[in-house]
Structure 1
Amino acid sequence: MTTTLESITTDNVLPASTAVVIIGGGIVGVTAALTLAERNIPVVLLEKGHIAGEQSSRNLGWIRKTSRHLHDVPLALAADRLWAQMPERIGRSVGYRQAGIMFLAKTEKQMAMHEDWLKSVAPMSLDSTLLTPQAIDARVPGGRGDWAGAVFTASDGRAEPAIATTALANAAIAKGANIIQHCAVRSLSTAAGKVCGVVTEKGEIRCDQVLLAAGAWSRRFLGNQRISLPTLPLICSVLRTQPMEGPTDIAVGAPDFSFRKHQGGGFVITQRGKLDAPLSLDHLLIGFRYLNQLRQQAGFLRISLGRYFADDLTMPRRWGSNASPFEQHRTTNPPVNEQLNQDALSNLRQAWPAFNQASIAESWAGLIDVTPDSNPVIDRIQSLPGLTIATGFSGHGFGTGPAAGQLAADLVSNTKPIVDPTPYRFNRL
């Protein structure tokens, strides 16, 4: 994980009861806890490891509307508003800046995809525009790339994953939420066909509602409850440079690299053209649901059979009230693919020679849970009243996290939702 992740001190006393239990201390679960606390609804958030220890601190920090599906844009717009209000809401900055995001096209075919996307979101009246090669050079000077064009959204932005979720968690605690780290939830308690509590490694908590926001662990947790959530793993490797002078504050994504300014003065860089796709037993169980994605992303995914498959195969999929897999695996730390990081840096240097001076400060990798349509599930589970899930964000949960967490809190508390939740219904999968 990134060495800049802020730590947080939380309570370790398990209460006997509460109104809502949240499972998972990523940005979505933490934002939901903050929202409920602001509404004076008693809430306990339980995290098996430490707050933001997995993908919520390992992502790129991009906050974008660009290239989102039309039905997903309202959530991104709501997130923009919440990110902008964050300093006033929680009393500190989380590095949010609307510096813009630009996606470059190397070929006319790639440019046509940007054009098609822009037409598809025309009803939303976004500030996205198509750029010529000359306009790219004006906004990101010093480049040598032979670009066909780009799509640029000035109101897109970034924040710092290493501090955002921790800052939100501290604010939630200050407003009355109870957050407990290093406490894994083993299973749900039910009575008369409804949720009535959770069983943890430290004991049981009675509650009226449970929100599962456990990221890549959600499928395994739900499987133990006989609920099938289709998600598969991807691994993204990332690097951060030492402080350096760069060509722009705009976040830039090319077909085979991306970069954005880090508040520490360096740049966060990844290989946008390739992700590691470690095979698991789930590929055999539900892989057929992803055939369309595989056809569209041939060459994008680096499929491998190795340590991940063996570890996944030996991890229990059913357990009772005894120790769960979540106690043996507090934090997922995928190995960094240094070759992909070096590829990204090499490709970036060819396009913008200013990065020839870049030296690597650190690198890390994160595990992403991907749904068949790359959109999350934020919904009540009809087969088990009292259970709501917010998971499967497919690599873009950080950007929409504040709005996704609030939407989950809205569903849990039966409040008018911040956006129409229909696109995120569980039954679509």
Structure 2
Amino acid sequence: MAPVIVPVQTSPDFPEKTTVVVIGGGIVGLTAALTLAERGVPVVVLEKGRIAAEQSSRNLGWIRKTSRDKVDVPLALASDALWAEMPKRTGTDVGYRQAGIMYVARTDDEMAGHERWIKSVEGLSLDSRLLSPAEIARLAPGGRGTWVGGIYTASDGRAEPTLVSSAIASAAIARGAVIVEQCAVRTLSMAAGRIAGVVTERGEIRCEQVLLAGGLWSRRFLGNLGVALPTLPLVASVFRTSPMDGPTDIAVGGPDFSFRKRLDGGYTITQRGALFAPLTLDHLLIGHKYLPTLIAQWKNVRISVGRDLVRDLSLGRRWTASDRSPFENTRIMDPPVIPALNAEAQHNLEAAWPVFKGAVVRQSWAGMIDVTPDSMPVISPVTKIPGLTLASGFSGHGFGTSPAAGQLAADLVTASTPILDPSPYSLDRFTG
């Protein structure tokens, strides 16, 4: 069962024109729309299903700099500052707490990885530090795990995925943005070699710029336009507990579990060491691009062959503006929970911190992540299609970096001075 998000009163009207159309009502697209609306730029957000109904409300709610690639740290740092402003910006407590994130290492190899990362980000003014087993016991008492050490960033944090997107959407609407749900964009309309509008299932909206923030759907949308975006789907299973006294308010990542305190007093838990890969045609087409990452990071990806491939093929990869699109056939991607992964997470966590043996599971869900070969997003103009900007492929990091990612996307759309250097996120890095 999917998490329940705070409802938002979106527009029943269908506008004929605007300046910017945002395709996708996830947290990055909504943040970009809020930024544009704050700047007085007319913007319409079109969502094929319900806003934030996919990964934006299903993620773990972590906001971290720890273990990010060095070139990705500035995006996370900029997001920290913007997260701190979110309550004032939206008029809502979205659960943002700078309570820290800690990773614990069971082996010397795991600890060596943390040590290498610390060295790689020297000079970036991070507060990350390595931990001894005694320091881990002090920060998260009551543990029974045998840790060789860990890493801790006190300025990392968390927020509530079921609250944030709704608050951002409401704030954007209050500033003049129009958000339309249950309205899939089928394709783009062009004039004089550049974007002139979008064609939806309800008709055309004329516009000057388009931001594609479609998450795992962006690859299929661009593929129909002849533009390649290398992303593959991975599924994470998650569960939450009833309110309970836990070991710490710090979010903790172990080799085969993670947990973080929720605003409601419970914990959100997952099997951090394992992801589920539903085999699709894209795995056969571009899977070779992911081999270095599989070897280095994803050593416990579990592959399933069967109905997921059939479903993926049935959605189709080519259609016209007058055809029913794949986005109308699947309004919300709601992957099934993998009970075995959640059971592993619970077992492993209970062994490490026995207090969780008393946890009552209140809800389980799964979310599908769009992953690029280098686990970095694309926030970039699409050079083949003037007027089109892309913000997708966040590889499970979109929630935490969404404030700065959405603002960077809005900067690129309006040719404003970017909040940070966008070059690490260029689409061209995959095309040479």
TM range (shorter): over 0.9
Q: Which residue of 2 aligns with 1:146?
A: 146
- Listed one character per residue, the Cα deviations across residues 233-257 of structure 1 (whole Å, up to 9, x for unaligned) are 0000000011111010000000000
TM-score between both structures, scaled by the size of structure 2: 0.98
Matched, 1:107 2:101: no
Q: Which residue of 2 aligns with 1:15?
A: 15
CA distance in 1, matches of 2:61, 2:33: 21
In the alignment, is the contact (CA less than 8 A) between 1:2 and 1:162 conserved in 2?
no
CA distance in 2, matches of 1:249, 1:375: 28
- Listed one character per residue, the Cα deviations across residues 39-61 of structure 1 (whole Å, up to 9, x for unaligned) are 00000000000110000000000
Aligned runs of 1:202-213 on 2, under 5 Å?
202-213=202-213
In the alignment, is the contact (CA less than 8 A) between 2:251 and 2:260 conserved in 1?
yes
- Listed one character per residue, the Cα deviations across residues 267-318 of structure 1 (whole Å, up to 9, x for unaligned) are 0000011000111001111111111122224641001102111100111100
CA separation of 1:92 and 1:188: change in aligned 2, threshold 3 A: same
Q: Which residue of 1 aligns with 2:374?
A: 373
Aligned runs of 1:27-42 on 2, under 5 Å?
27-42=27-42
Q: Which residue of 2 aligns with 1:330?
A: 331
Q: Percent identity, aligned pairs only?
A: 63
- Listed one character per residue, the Cα deviations across residues 185-240 of structure 1 (whole Å, up to 9, x for unaligned) are 00000112101100001110000000000000000000111111000000000000
Letter in 2 for 1:214: G
For this pair of structures, how many residues does the alignment match?
429
Which 5+ residue runs of structure 2 have no aligned equivalent? none
Q: Which residue of 2 aligns with 1:356?
A: 357
CA distance in 1, matches of 2:311, 2:402: 29
CA separation of 1:298 and 1:29: change in aligned 2, threshold 3 A: closer
In the alignment, is the contact (CA less than 8 A) between 1:44 and 1:179 conserved in 2?
yes
In the alignment, is the contact (CA less than 8 A) between 1:216 and 1:368 conserved in 2?
yes
Tell me the SS of whatever aligns to 1:165. Answer: helix
- The worse-fitting range, judged by mean Cα deviation, of 302-311 and 389-398 is 302-311
Letter in 1 for 2:122: A
CA distance in 2, matches of 1:294, 1:147: 25
Q: Which residue of 2 aligns with 1:420?
A: 421
CA distance in 2, matches of 1:176, 1:39: 10
Q: Which residue of 2 aligns with 1:129?
A: 129
CA distance in 2, matches of 1:77, 1:299: 29
CA distance in 1, matches of 2:4, 2:426: 35
Q: Which residue of 2 aligns with 1:273?
A: 273
Matched, 1:313 2:313: yes
Letter in 1 for 2:378: V
In the alignment, is the contact (CA less than 8 A) between 2:3 and 2:58 conserved in 1?
no
Q: Which residue of 2 aligns with 1:157?
A: 157
CA distance in 2, matches of 1:181, 1:232: 25
CA distance in 2, matches of 1:86, 1:47: 23
CA distance in 1, matches of 2:391, 2:345: 32
CA distance in 2, matches of 1:150, 1:291: 27
Tell me the SS of whatever aligns to 1:389. Answer: strand
RMSD: 0.8
Tell me the SS of whatever aligns to 2:188. Answer: strand
Aligned runs of 1:7-406 on 2, under 5 Å?
7-297=7-297, 299-321=299-321, 322-406=323-407
Tell me the SS of whatever aligns to 1:122. Answer: coil
CA distance in 2, matches of 1:123, 1:414: 30
